[in-house]
């Protein structure tokens, strides 16, 4: 089955086209901002304009804007091509990428930049399965080592004793995710939005 993978949940922007678990082509760029402008040209540059029998998209947690850009593009293409759209976790992919660099399976704690000086955090066992839902935690809530000797992500928390693996999610590594890791194509922001709904005063 041909699969298009889209990842825009962090300051990286990446796409990949797979035939089963074989990578046909992919692109990965660290762009910071501008995912909406960069994503579609990257997809168009894939073989066959990236057309696939299904689409996988990073649903977070991560950047509010980046997640929305990826989901909107995935759902629009899914509708145009009449193919299913599924999600996958940002921190789960980072965990899978980190574990592939190790000589033997190990638990990995993942830390990614969150909002307001906090971190998105999720712990994974040696098989890559989540041990608890992702959460946004303040610096003082960061475990010094937790149950894992290794940690991965885009920024190493101060004062920890992990063996650190710095990485950002990359759509080209999607096939490293554990089986049955697909999620609904619904955003996982990891924390409440900054904007608060208006309160009507009667």
What are the helix (H) ranges across the chain?
35-44, 64-81, 90-99
Residue 158 pLDDT level (bands cut at 50, 70, 90): confident
Residue 197 pLDDT level (bands cut at 50, 70, 90): very low
Find the mean pLDDT for residues 3-14: 97
* pLDDT for the residue 169: 98
Distance in angstroms (rounded) separating the CA atoms of residues 79 and 123: 34
> What domain count does the chain have?
2
SS3 category, 199: coil
Both 62 and 120 in one domain: the answer is no
Both 58 and 25 in one domain: the answer is yes
Both 20 and 48 in one domain: the answer is yes
4 class by beta-carbon count within 10 Å (0-12 exposed, 13-18 middle, 19+ buried): buried
In a domain, 121, yes or no: yes
Both 6 and 85 in one domain: the answer is yes
Both 108 and 76 in one domain: the answer is no
Give the CATH number of the domain where residue 147 resides: 3.30.420
* pLDDT for the residue 191: 62
200 class by beta-carbon count within 10 Å (0-12 exposed, 13-18 middle, 19+ buried): exposed
12 class by beta-carbon count within 10 Å (0-12 exposed, 13-18 middle, 19+ buried): buried
| Pairwise pLDDT comparison (65 vs 202), residue with the higher score | 65
Weakest mean pLDDT among 12-21, 57-66, 74-83, 186-195: 186-195
pLDDT in tens, 62-120: 999 999 999 999 999 999 999 999 999 999 999 999 999 999 889 999 999 988 889 99
Q: Are 113 and 155 in contact (CB under 8 A)?
A: yes
Share of residues in the chain with pLDDT > 90 (%): 80
Weakest mean pLDDT among 31-40, 41-50, 192-201: 192-201
Both 56 and 97 in one domain: the answer is no
* pLDDT for the residue 195: 43
Which range of residues forms the domain containing residue 95?
91-166
* pLDDT for the residue 151: 93
**Model confidence at 198: pLDDT above 70:** no
Both 79 and 119 in one domain: the answer is no
Q: Are 109 and 150 in contact (CB under 8 A)?
A: yes
Both 10 and 28 in one domain: the answer is yes
In a domain, 187, yes or no: no
């Amino acid at each position: 089955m041909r699969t298009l993978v889209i990842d825009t949940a962090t300051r990286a922007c990446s796409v990949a086209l797979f035939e089963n678990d074989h990578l046909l082509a992919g692109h990965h760029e660290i762009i910071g901002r501008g995912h909406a402008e960069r994503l579609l040209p990257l997809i168009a540059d894939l073989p066959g304009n990236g057309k696939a029998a299904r689409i996988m998209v990073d649903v977070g947690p991560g950047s509010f804007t980046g997640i929305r850009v990826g989901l909107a593009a995935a759902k629009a293409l899914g509708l145009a091509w009449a193919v299913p759209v599924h999600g996958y976790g940002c921190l789960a992919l980072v965990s899978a990428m980190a574990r592939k660099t190790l000589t033997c399976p190990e638990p990995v704690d993942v830390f990614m930049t969150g909002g307001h000086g906090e971190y998105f955090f999720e712990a994974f066992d040696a098989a890559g399965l989540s041990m608890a839902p992702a959460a946004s935690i303040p610096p003082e809530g960061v475990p010094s080592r937790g149950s894992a000797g290794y940690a991965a992500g885009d920024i190493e928390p101060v004062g920890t004793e992990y063996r650190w693996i710095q990485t950002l999610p990359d759509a080209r590594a999607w096939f490293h995710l554990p089986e049955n890791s697909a999620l609904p194509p619904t955003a996982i922001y990891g924390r409440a939005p900054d904007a608060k709904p208006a309160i009507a005063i009667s």
